[in-house]
Amino acid sequence: MSAETIRGPAVGTRQRIPFYRNVKTIGVLAQAVFAAVLVLAAYVVYRNVTSAMAASNLRGDFGFLDQRAGIPLAESPIRYTGENTYGRAFLVGVLNTLRVAIVGVALATVLGIAIGVMRLSRNFLMRAFATLYVETLRNTPLAVQIIFWYTALLTPLPPRILNPVELPGGGYVSNLGVALPWPYPSYHFGAWLPYVIAGVVVGAAVWWLRRRQLRLADRPGNALGPGLLAGLLVMVAGYLAVGKGPLPEATTASFREASGVVTVFRDLNGDGVKQASEPFVPYAAVTARIGEGGLQVQTQNLVESRRYVYGRFYFPPLRESEFDELEVGFADPEDAAERDLAIHFFSYPSRGVVYRDLDGDGAWDRGEEIDPEASSPRGYSAAIRLSFRGFERTLVADRNGEARLPIFATDFAVQESRGVNISPAQLFAPPAGGGQGEKEPLEADFTLLESRPLVLSKPTIPISKYEGGFRLSEKYLALLLALVVYTASFIAEIVRAGLQAVPKGQREAAKALGLSDSQAFRFVIFPQAMRVILPPLISQFLNLTKNSSLAPLAAYSELFAISIIIANQTGASVPATIMIIAAYLAISLVFALVLNAVNARMALVER
C-alpha cells in the first residue's frame, strides 16, 4: 500500500507527451515536410522550365529519337549509316565513350601505379623522372594536352597513310592511326562455339577442383594455371577438330568497279546482284583476281615525317608479288621525255619520286627532285601510271560483308572525262545516259575460300584509308593518350600516398621474416596500400570517364559531341542535355557500383 504514496516520475503510467515534443513524431514530420518541399521545388522548377521553353520555342519532347538522322559519323563500333535514326547515333556516342573510358581506366591504372612506385624508388633518375612527370602533367590543363597530342603530334608528324610504316605481321602505322591484323569469327564460328563453352566449363571445373584440393591439403599453390591450360586445350582441340566448313549456300561475291568494293552475300535468287533481302556473309575470305588494269596518280608536294618532300608519288601500298606482270611509268611518256624526267622508286611499285638527272649519273640524288625553274621550291608535276596483268589479293570482308580493292581502271581517257557536273536540281533526278562514257569493264574473278571458325583479317590500304583488320583511329588514340597520361599523374600521387601510409614496421617485419624486397612489396606492402588507394582511385576513374567529353578537341565522336550535333540539327537542346546528363550519370553509377563492390571486398574487416 505504501507504494501508492510514493510520488515521483510516473513509472509505468502513460503520461501523454504532446506530439510536437515526441522525438519519433517530429522525425517523421520533418521527413514529410522535407519531402513536400522537395516535391514542391521540383514542381516549380518543372513548370518554370516548360513555360520558359514554350516561351522561347525550345523543343521538349524526345520524338526526334526515331527520326532519320542523316548525320555522317566518323567511327562506330556498331553498324551505322546516315540512314539510321538519331537514337542510334546517340547509342554510337555512348559506345564510343565506353570504348575510351574502359580502355583508358585500365591503362591509366597501370601507368599510374608504375609512376607512383617510381616516385618512391631509391634510384635518383627514376624518382626525378616520376616527379617531373607528375608535376608537369598534373599542372597542365587537359584540353591543352588533348590538342597537343592531336594537333602537334598525331596529325602532321608521322608518315602519311599512303606511305605507312609496316609492322611485322601485317599491321600499319600512319597519320590515320594504327591498323592491326585481327582474328574475327567467320560464318563457321557456330560449329566451334560448343567447344568454347565446353572449354570454359572444363577450365572452371579444373580450377575449382584444384583449389579445393590445395585447400584440403593446406598447401600453397596456383589453381588458375591448370584451369586455364585445361580450358585452352579443349578449345584448341575443338578448333582443330572442327576444321574448315563449307560456305553458306549460294554465297557469292559481287564487285562494283567504280568503288573497288567487293560484297560477299547469299545470292538467294541467283541473279548475282545483292538485294536488300539477301543477307551479307560477314568475315568471309575471298581471293580477287583482276586480269588487266591500271592505276594513275599525280606527284605530290607534302609534309611527311617532319620534312617537306617534293615530287613524290604514292600508289596504295601494293606488293610486286601480287602481280604477274607490272609496269610503272609516266602517263604521258613523250611529255616526260621532253622535260627530261625520270622515276626513282623507293619501294617498287608503290612509291617513288620524279626527278631530272642534273648531274647525269643515271641515278636520283637528293635535291634533283626539286624543279630549279619554279619560283618557290616545288617538285615536278607529272601523272604516273601503273599498268598490270594479273593482280591477285586475298581479302577478308568486314562485318558488313564488304572488302575493298584499289580502284583499278582499264581506260584512263574515260576515267578522266567521267566527271559530270552536278547542280542541285539534277542531283536526285535519274542519272542521264552517256556522260559516264563507254568503258571496258575489268576482267575480275573472285574465289570464295572456306575458312576455319576464326579468320585472320589483315588491314589493307586500297585508297587513302584503312580497310579490314582492327583499326584504332588517330582521333581515338590522341584522346586515349591524353586521358591516360593525364589521369595517370593523379593516380601516381594516390599510389604514392597509399604506399607511404603503410607503417614502416610492416616492411621491417617482412624483412625479418626473410622476404625479399619484391616479395615484401607484393605480399605485404601493396595489399595494405590498396585499401588506402582504392577509394580515391575510384573517383579518378570517374574523372577520366567524364573528361572524355573533351573529345571534340580531337575530332572524336563520342556521347557529348554527338549529342550536341543532335541538339543542333533538331533544335531539341533541352532533351539532348537531359540525355547527356542521364548517360553520364548511368555510366558513372555503374562504374562506382562495381568498384565499390571491389572496395568492400578489399577493405579491412573489423571484428
Partner 1 sequence: MRRLVFSFLLVALLFGGAAYADKLDDIIARGNLVCGVNDQLPGFGTINAQGEFEGFDVDYCHAIAAAILGDANAVQFRALSAQERFTAVQTGEVDVLIRNTTWTSSRDTSVGLEFAPTTFYDGQGFMARRDSGIRTLQDLEGRRICVQSGTTTELNLNDVLGALNISFEPVIYENADQLTAAYDQGACDAWTTDKSGLASRLITLQNPDDHVILDATISKEPLGPAVLNGEQRLFDVVKWVVFATFTAEEFGITSENVDDVAASTTIPDVRRMLGLEGTNISDFGIPADGMYQVIKQVGNYAEIYNRNLGPDTPFDIPRGLNSPYTQGGLQFAPPFR
Which of 318, 11, 339 shows the shortest CA–CA distance to 164?
318
Least distance CB 487 / partner 1 (angstroms): 21
Element (H, E) at 341: strand 341-347
Query: Given the complex with partner 1, which of 68 and 212 has the nearer CB atom?
Result: 68
Which of 540, 541, 559 shows the shortest CA–CA distance to 550?
559
Query: Given the complex with partner 1, which of 81 and 500 has the nearer CB atom?
Result: 81
Least distance CB 134 / partner 1 (angstroms): 27
Burial of 251-276, coded b for 16+ CB within 10 Å and e otherwise, reads: bbbbbebeebbbbbbbbeeeeeebee
Least distance CB 559 / partner 1 (angstroms): 14
Query: Given the complex with partner 1, which of 275 and 577 has the nearer CB atom?
Result: 577
User: How far does the chain reach from its first CA to its final CA, in angstroms?
Assistant: 51
Least distance CB 148 / partner 1 (angstroms): 14
Between the alpha carbon of residue 195 and those of residues 118, 200, 261, the distances in Å are: 44, 9, 35
Query: Given the complex with partner 1, which of 234 and 580 has the nearer CB atom?
Result: 580
Which of 506, 492, 498 shows the shortest CA–CA distance to 531?
498
Which of 234, 214, 238, 216 shows the shortest CA–CA distance to 224?
214
Query: Given the complex with partner 1, which of 5 and 423 has the nearer CB atom?
Result: 423
Query: Given the complex with partner 1, which of 173 and 223 has the nearer CB atom?
Result: 173
Between the alpha carbon of residue 173 and those of residues 147, 219, 345, 381, 471, the distances in Å are: 20, 49, 21, 28, 10
Query: Are the beta carbons of 188 and 451 closer than 8 angstroms?
Result: yes
Query: Given the complex with partner 1, which of 59 and 507 has the nearer CB atom?
Result: 59
Least distance CB 220 / partner 1 (angstroms): 55
Q: Show the cell assigned to 393.
A: 589479293
Q: What are phi and psi of 101, to 5 degrees?
A: -65, -45
How many angstroms separate the CA atoms of 369 and 356, rounded? 6
How many angstroms separate the CA atoms of 29 and 100, rounded? 47
Q: Which amino acid is at 399?
A: R
How many angstroms separate the CA atoms of 434 and 412, rounded? 17
Query: Are the beta carbons of 551 and 480 closer than 8 angstroms?
Result: no
How many angstroms separate the CA atoms of 100 and 106, rounded? 10
Query: Given the complex with partner 1, which of 397 and 567 has the nearer CB atom?
Result: 567
Least distance CB 526 / partner 1 (angstroms): 40
Query: Given the complex with partner 1, which of 126 and 555 has the nearer CB atom?
Result: 555
How many angstroms separate the CA atoms of 291 and 336, rounded? 28
Query: Given the complex with partner 1, which of 125 and 429 has the nearer CB atom?
Result: 429
Least distance CB 132 / partner 1 (angstroms): 30
User: 41 burial class (0-12, 13-18, 19+ CB within 10 angstroms)?
Assistant: exposed
Least distance CB 444 / partner 1 (angstroms): 17
Query: Given the complex with partner 1, which of 150 and 189 has the nearer CB atom?
Result: 150
Query: Given the complex with partner 1, which of 255 and 541 has the nearer CB atom?
Result: 255
Residues 6 or more apart whose Cβ sits within 8 Å of residue 350: 162, 314, 315, 316, 317, 318
Least distance CB 67 / partner 1 (angstroms): 10
Residues in contact with partner 1 by CB under 8 A are 45, 48-49, 51-53, 55-59, 70-74, 81-83, 151, 155-156, 160, 175-176, 258-261, 296-303, 376, 381, 404, 407, 418-424, 427-428, 462-465, 552, 555, 557, 561, 564-565, 567-574, 577
How many angstroms separate the CA atoms of 480 and 104, rounded? 6
Least distance CB 318 / partner 1 (angstroms): 16
Least distance CB 547 / partner 1 (angstroms): 14
Element (H, E) at 546: helix 526-547
Q: Show the cell assigned to 79.
A: 553498324
Least distance CB 68 / partner 1 (angstroms): 10
